[in-house]
Structure 1
Amino acid sequence: MPPTTVGPALLSWASQLEESTAAQARQTAAMPFIHPHVALMPDAHSGKGSAVGTVIPTRGAVMPAAVGVDIGCGMIAVRTEFTRDDVDRRITATGHRLATLRVRIENVIPLSPGNYNRGTAGWTFTAPRIAELEALAATGDVDLTHSPKWRRQLGSLGGGNHFIELCLDETDRVWLFLHSGSRGVGNRIAQHHIRIAQQACAQRHVALPNRDLAYLTEGTTEFDRYLTDLHWAQRFAYLNRAEMMDRFGAVFARWMGTPDHRETDRINCHHNYTQQEVHGGERVWLTRKGAVDAHAGVRAVIPGSMGTHSYVVEGLGNTDGLCSAPHGAGRRFSRTEAKRRYTQADLRARMVGIEYRDSAEFIDEIPDAYKPIDVVMDDARDLVRVVHELRQILNVKGT
């Protein structure tokens, strides 16, 4: 759909947009360093500081809270050579149903906030990733003393809307799919720099419409320090997803009785991050808070909610949309409101045909708590084209 103007320097692709979200986006768009405009994605909803689903181009400044506390959060999807028939034959031959696979996944990938790996020597592919992150931290003098267990966080899922899924595409080809970010270490980095930005603005007596729009100015030590730490956290998030995917692939291969998971394609993309790009004829710092890169030909993954379809997409390079696209379904109701409205029986009804851990703790993740993903994707038709449509047959969530 074409964008609508919902305020000065503010374009929206959301056909379902709450006034509270629009008001929050107007505050962001009114900041003096925005150029050329802020873009609201189809899944936009209220967030901390700035709305989730906001693409924010800034000249000479970055707002740490706008990037968010889950730096580098994103998706990874792997296509395999297996098909639904291969999975069904395996179940018939061994009697090991998808529940067996789900439990094995839960045993090798720590779930939930605060859960760590017992050690770092269990997988051959882990050590090189830790070594890369150690070298990156040493080169940039990244202070990680606030997170002494960060190495044991690598390969852990987290909670909330983070998940692991076994999916089938439109040809019944099997995909491995998961959503996670920079875990506790990224959160600590973000909170540290949010405080510094707020202190810096207070010291300069900057009048802010919202404390979480506090910013760091390019050319200062604080700005440079944040960008270095941010880059490290974004890399951690990227490698964290890769680590979990390789574990998932190994477990799936064992469940299938094969030496490997026969991977044919892999897409690993952020949807909470900042990087330099050219927009409106100028080089800006582009913050995608709940949005993916949709430059022409760039592939990304847009998940639905628990129990609904997800999409592998290719960017169309829409310049009005700042070459961005939505990152998912986007919440309709808060977690508290979802728990008030829905029951465990409602969740069971929505998850028929999908293997998952049947628990009341996931009521707030029921698909009804999110915007319909089909509406979001229709709104995004000028931003991306759909390459694959995925439907899950197994779901693992952190609590």
Structure 2
Amino acid sequence: MENNRINGNDLIAIGYKENHAMGVALKINKKRLGYTREEMLNHFKMVLTTPEQYLGDKVFHPLAEILLNIERIDAESIQLKTDPQDYAIYGEEHIEEGARKQMNTAMKLPVTVAGALMPDAHQGYGLPIGGVLATNNAVIPYGVGVDIGCRMALSIFDLPASYVETHADKLKEIILQETRFGAGHGFLKHERIDHAVLENTLFNTHDFIRNLKDKAWTQLGSSGGGNHFVEFGVMEFAAADKNLGVEKGKYLALLTHSGSRGLGATIADYYTKLAMKLCKLPYEAQHLAYLDLNTTEGMDYWLAMNLAGDYASACHQVIHDKIKTSLGAELLAKVENHHNFAWKEQHNSEEVIVHRKGATPASKDVLGIIPGSMATPGFLVRGKGESSALNSASHGAGRLMSRTKAIKTLVASDLTQLLKDNGITLLGAGMDEAPMAYKDIHTVMAAQKDLVSVVATFSPKIVRMANDGSRED
């Protein structure tokens, strides 16, 4: 069958503009109606030329209707600023044009105060992943992201680094026994664990959230798909850190990356659609629809977002507690930080809402964790409080290629050899998470030396990820 895929550039070439009509046309094309690509393009051109003739057409009538009303729709849309505000870019030479274009659009919003782009940035929905945006009393659901409150958690144990080699089978068994992965996966009723987060009043007072309690309980303590992981590795401190209370040396450590699971995804989907309904923005900015925090809808999302963040933290706590118990070790230090969230912070002496979509908080002396990939090091860092970056840093290495491209182009034997060379045992995961699909973490770290300082280095050794192809970025 001939590929019917048509993109925005194809529609522009036959006369369409980047507006809501283009969006409707692309949705119609996704239905794959049996037409060839050329036939679809010819229909789209004819509808554009004489939309009134297609008002009764069962396929193209939505496009005809919007074309006949496009001037009114554009006039009713909230107007963007003519030019984007200036913003800081770190590692600019390594950031794709799509991410820059998305950030430029975000910097035109009437509520935008300031912004920054981190060196791991790549294109997403709405705000690019790696984008930081400060707004005036407004929160953007897609500026937070789908996996609300996604975070890193690190436990450093009182065991030497050699434990990874001497007790490899035990560590592998612990990870397999105490973790569960993948979109939609969770625990049976007799396996569930109670936690204080489930007592949040929203589960009893908020009609929408109330219906999500069982899902939250089922998935509490599980990990998502995509780039989420649980891994044992070696934590190396080149010098003692008095604030953490850890001496110079190498230690066994546990590092996890996951978020708010189905709870957060459902909240994100509901409030994104609500924002897009209430906040009519031009086509190129539609996924940046925002909610005023002085409105009931805005405050409802804010409360739900914070619940999802607390829930994500609880999931990590359950995982770390279960593994610590199975390991029978003492904890030397624990560090946790999150992204895909919005915070109320001060910027130029004014309160703003700072969205960090795939960006790590990096205020002065604040600790954070920036992972590389399954075969490259991660870093425990201390923020420098750089105001031009809105006190932020990258949340990882950042994707170099899409998941689809990685699966189609990367070779499994190359990944196997890379893991062997680095002494890494991989449990699960697919080629879409191969290290070659990511930017060089050392290049990313070099681009943000003004944002964070490195406290210690984490080298993964036993890595578990989902192997079902699911994603929860």
Q: Render the CA deviation track for 1:144-175: whole Å, top value 9, x for unaligned.
A: 31463210111001110000111112232111
Partner of 2:200: 135
- Per the alignment, do residues 85 and 162 of structure 1 end up closer, same or farther by CA in structure 2, a change over 3 Å counting? same
- Per the alignment, do residues 222 and 383 of structure 1 end up closer, same or farther by CA in structure 2, a change over 3 Å counting? same
Q: Distance in 1 between matches of 2:375 and 2:447?
A: 20
**1:172 lines up with 2:246 in the alignment:** no
Higher share of residues assigned helix? 2
Q: Distance in 2 between matches of 1:146 and 1:33?
A: 31
Q: Note the C-alpha offset of 1:346.
A: 1.4
Paired amino acid for 2:396: G
Q: Is the 8 A contact 1:136 1:232 kept in 2?
A: no
SS of the residue aligned with 1:250? helix
Partner of 2:424: 354
Q: Distance in 1 between matches of 2:213 and 2:414?
A: 39
Paired amino acid for 2:177: N
Q: Is the 8 A contact 1:350 1:366 kept in 2?
A: no
Q: Distance in 1 between matches of 2:156 and 2:323?
A: 13
5+ unaligned residues in a row in structure 1: which ranges? 1-5, 92-97, 254-259
Q: Distance in 2 between matches of 1:396 and 1:86?
A: 18
Q: Distance in 2 between matches of 1:152 and 1:71?
A: 18
SS of the residue aligned with 1:48? coil
Q: Distance in 1 between matches of 2:396 and 2:336?
A: 15
Q: Distance in 2 between matches of 1:249 and 1:162?
A: 19
SS of the residue aligned with 1:50? coil
Aligned ranges 1:306-385 → 2 under 5 Å: 306-352=374-420, 353-357=423-427, 362-385=430-453
SS of the residue aligned with 2:449? coil
% same residue: 33
Aligned equivalent of 2:222, options 141, 150, 156: 156
Partner of 2:182: 112
Partner of 2:297: 222
What number of residue pairs does the alignment pair up? 369
Q: Render the CA deviation track for 1:252-285: whole Å, top value 9, x for unaligned.
A: x1xxxxxx32111001111110110001221001
Q: Note the C-alpha offset of 1:305.
A: 1.1
**1:25 lines up with 2:103 in the alignment:** yes
Paired amino acid for 1:132: V
Q: Is the 8 A contact 1:65 1:213 kept in 2?
A: yes
Aligned ranges 1:294-305 → 2 under 5 Å: 294-305=362-373
Partner of 1:240: 315
Q: Note the C-alpha offset of 1:72.
A: 0.3
Q: Is the 8 A contact 1:329 1:376 kept in 2?
A: yes
Paired amino acid for 2:426: Y
Q: Is the 8 A contact 2:148 2:341 kept in 1?
A: yes
TM-score (norm 1): 0.88
Q: Distance in 2 between matches of 1:261 and 1:7?
A: 52
Q: Distance in 2 between matches of 1:84 and 1:60?
A: 47
Moved more, 207-216 or 67-76: 207-216
Q: Distance in 2 between matches of 1:355 and 1:113?
A: 23
Paired amino acid for 1:112: G
Partner of 2:456: 388
**1:291 lines up with 2:359 in the alignment:** yes
Moved more, 157-166 or 338-347: 338-347
TM-score (norm 2): 0.75
Paired amino acid for 2:460: Q
The structure 1 segments of at least 4 consecutive aligned residues displaced by more than 6 Å after TM superposition are: none
Select the structure with the greater relative contact order (CA < 8 A; seq sep ≥ 6): 1
Q: Is the 8 A contact 1:99 1:356 kept in 2?
A: no
Q: Is the 8 A contact 2:366 2:383 kept in 1?
A: yes
Q: Distance in 2 between matches of 1:180 and 1:261?
A: 23
5+ unaligned residues in a row in structure 2: which ranges? 1-82, 237-248, 468-473
SS of the residue aligned with 2:333? strand
**1:57 lines up with 2:134 in the alignment:** yes
SS of the residue aligned with 2:209? coil
Q: Is the 8 A contact 1:53 1:289 kept in 2?
A: yes
**1:77 lines up with 2:154 in the alignment:** yes
- Per the alignment, do residues 11 and 149 of structure 1 end up closer, same or farther by CA in structure 2, a change over 3 Å counting? same
- Larger Rg computed on CA atoms: 2
